[in-house]
Every structure is written in C-alpha cells, then in structure tokens.
Amino acid sequence: MHDTPPPEFVELLDVVRGYQRSRALTVAAELGIADLLADGPRPADDLAAATGTHAPTLYRVLRALASIGVFSEDADRRFALTAMGEYLRRDHPLSVDPAARMFGAEYEWRAWGELAHSVRTGETAAVHALGTDVWEYRRRHPEHGEIFDATMRTFSRADNAGLLAAHDFGRYGTVADIGGGTGAVLAAVLSAHPATRGILFDQEQVVADAGPVLRRAGVADRVDVVPGDFFDTIPEGADAYLLVRILHDWMDEEAARILRGVRAAMAPGARVLVVDAVVGPPNEDPAAKSLDLMMLVSVGGRERTEAEWTTLLTAAGLDLVAVTRATPNKHVIEAVRV
Ligand SMILES: C[S@@+](CC[C@H](N)C(=O)[O-])C[C@H]1O[C@@H](n2cnc3c(N)ncnc32)[C@H](O)[C@@H]1O
C-alpha cells in the first residue's frame, strides 16, 4: 500500500476530470472575466456585480481557475490576470477566448456526448447529436460561425511564423488559399512577400468578414476574394494552392474530391501546399491524435500519417514531393501534378 496515492492513479483521475476545468474556463470566457481584469486586479464581488452573477459562486469558479494558473488570487479575494490569463483577453492577437467559447459551446458538448455513438458506428458524433453537420449548423447559427472563424484566426496567427519559415512563398506569383477563412494566413503570406498576389476562397458568409483582416495587414489590394464551394469550383490560375486545416475536416473520399478540383484548376507547374498534421508513431504525438478525435466527433474528418497522405494525394492524381514541419503539430505537405 502507498501512503499517498500513486502518481499514475492521480494522473489518470486528472484526465477523468479534465472536462471540469474546461467547463470552468469556458464560463469565465463567456463572462468576459479577462477583459474585466485588463486594467488590474479586482475583487470577486466586483466581478460578480459587473457580470450579473452570484458572487460566492463566481468566486469558487475563479479560485479554481487561479489554482491552475489562469488567474491569480490574493488574500483579499482579489483576482488578477496571469501570463496565461492574458491570452483570454479578447483584444489579444492570440486570444484563446474564441476557442474557449467554441469548444465549450453547448452544441460541441452535445457532439462530444455522442463519442460512443461514433465508436459504435463510425459515424460523425456531431451529425448524430445535431441532425446536421457542423458547417450547416454554423450557417444556421451565425453567432457560432463567427466564434469559429475567430478561433481559426487565432490558430493561424499562432502558426503563421512557423509556416512562413518552413516554406518560401516568395517564389509564387499568385497564392490561392482554398478554405482560407477570413484571410489570416493569406494576409501573413502576402505581408511577408510584397510581390505575391493572393486569392482568398471560402464560403460566402465567411469571406464576407475578410475585409478588415486583409486591410489591417495592408494587402487587400493584392487579394481577389472569391466566395464559393470547394466541392463545386476552385479558382484557376494560381501558382500555389494552399489548403490550411482543410483536408483534415474530411474523410478520404471528400478530401480527394477537393484535391481533384484543385488539380483541375492548377497550371502544370503549380504546387499544392497542404498544411495539416502528420500523425506520429505509436505512443507519441498526443496533439495530433487528440486533434484527430476532434475531427472524428465534430466534422467527420481525420488526421493522417505520411503514408495516408501519400495514398490520398495519389488518388487525386498528385505526387507528394516534400513534407516539412512548420510547427509542433503542423506540416507543409507539398505535391505536384503526376
Ligand atoms: C478549419 S477551417 C480553416 C480555415 C483556414 N484555412 C485557417 O487555417 O485558418 C475550415 C474552413 O473550410 C471552410 N469550408 C468548409 N466547407 C467549405 C466548402 N464547401 N467550400 C468552401 N469552404 C469551405 C470553412 O468555412 C472554414 O473556413
């Protein structure tokens, strides 16, 4: 017997209870607590008054978050932002606030509640839970669409430096960002390469919000914004076709359809640049493997090993020519027409 519980037991229980922290963080994000602390520490009662919440209960949530470093608490029950908590501010360029509100949104919880359904049937949990896929769900609930797009902007900003270091985009005259969201990746690419032009392609209601992102980066005059469905048409004539966090949203059949459309649109010498995870060996790479579960539950897609990428690209008439790590869990997978 042990005097204290064995570390493996403690660690496993911590995994079991992981959702409780996540939930607390989402509630703090929904209440905008980090923004209320932007000018300095405030007492819990003050925060409760500002958010219209039950003071003793808000205090318990905040002290739990302070115990894991999101906020700090002093002896007078005043809370302040920590280095970690700063990322919850909505005005932070790498704000985690939209991610906290998206992953903690009620529709995501319903989807994750159906993981066992996915495991029994192989079906997408979100479709089972919501009666529609998440893209359609977000079209019907634009407020969730906006939170999703903001989450993608944060992810892009976090990954952009690694992406630009991993691949020389300066060699392309025109880069088409397919499923480019509100343009955060393309803005970074074009800012770094003033002679390159861009095409931003995504769903109509998504590219509608791209203007401010492109203007802030000073690249709007070099971008053609094209709304559309990547299962129908892909804009022609670019030298590079960038697909960032796109193909992992889809199973092989749909992913190959998107790639075939890109292949048909591209000039013979053009490149396809897929930016996604490349799943590592057994017992490693928890980031890609948990992202893979997210794809399973939420969108009905998957992360892929290098062998699986090769198979998928081959099925679309493309040859994988290089794989370069851009960030700890994102690679640039380069392909050309066979
Ligand atoms: C995971 S996000 C990635 C966004 C962006 N590439 C990034 O990394 O920030 C997937 C994108 O695919 C877009 N998308 C989904 N279905 C689409 C379709 N049928 N046609 C065009 N875009 C689509 C979504 O609107 C979303 O912007």
Q: How confident is the model at residue 268 (pLDDT cuts 50, 70, 90)?
A: confident
Q: Is 163 in the pocket of ligand 1 (CB under 6 A)?
A: no
Q: What pLDDT is recorded for position 157? A: 93
CA 39 – ligand 1 centroid, Å: 36
Q: What pLDDT is recorded for position 1? A: 58
Q: What pLDDT is recorded for position 282? A: 97
Assign domain 152-337 to a CATH class: alpha beta
CA 43 – ligand 1 centroid, Å: 41
Query: How far, in Å, CA of 131 to CA of 171, rounded?
Result: 45
Among 229, 245, 292, the mutation site with the greatest number of ligand 1 atoms within 8 A of its Cβ is: 245
CA 19 – ligand 1 centroid, Å: 27
Query: How far, in Å, CA of 133 to CA of 127, rounded?
Result: 5
Q: Is 316 in the pocket of ligand 1 (CB under 6 A)?
A: no
Q: Is 202 in the pocket of ligand 1 (CB under 6 A)?
A: yes
Catalytic residue among 144, 167, 248, 331: 248
Q: Is 70 in the pocket of ligand 1 (CB under 6 A)?
A: no
Rounded mean pLDDT, 108-113: 96
Residue 141 annotated as catalytic: no
Residue 2 has pLDDT above 70, yes or no: no
**pLDDT tens digits for 223-235?**
999 999 999 999 9
Nearest CA to ligand 1 atom 12: 179
- Closest atom of ligand 1 relative to the 159 alpha carbon: 8
CA 336 – ligand 1 centroid, Å: 22
**pLDDT tens digits for 135-167?**
999 999 999 999 999 999 999 999 999 999 999
Q: Is 98 in the pocket of ligand 1 (CB under 6 A)?
A: no
Nearest CA to ligand 1 atom 3: 245
What is the CA angle 31-44-93, rounded to 5? 45
Q: Where are the domains of the chain?
A: 7-89, 152-337
Architecture (CATH level 2) of domain 7-89 = Orthogonal Bundle (1.10)
Nearest CA to ligand 1 atom 19: 229
CA 179 – ligand 1 centroid, Å: 4
Average model confidence (pLDDT) across the chain: 97
Residue 306 has pLDDT above 80, yes or no: yes
Nearest CA to ligand 1 atom 1: 245
Q: What pLDDT is recorded for position 262? A: 98
Q: Is 156 in the pocket of ligand 1 (CB under 6 A)?
A: yes
Give percent of the chain with pLDDT exceeding 70.
99
CA 311 – ligand 1 centroid, Å: 23
Q: How confident is the model at residue 267 (pLDDT cuts 50, 70, 90)?
A: confident
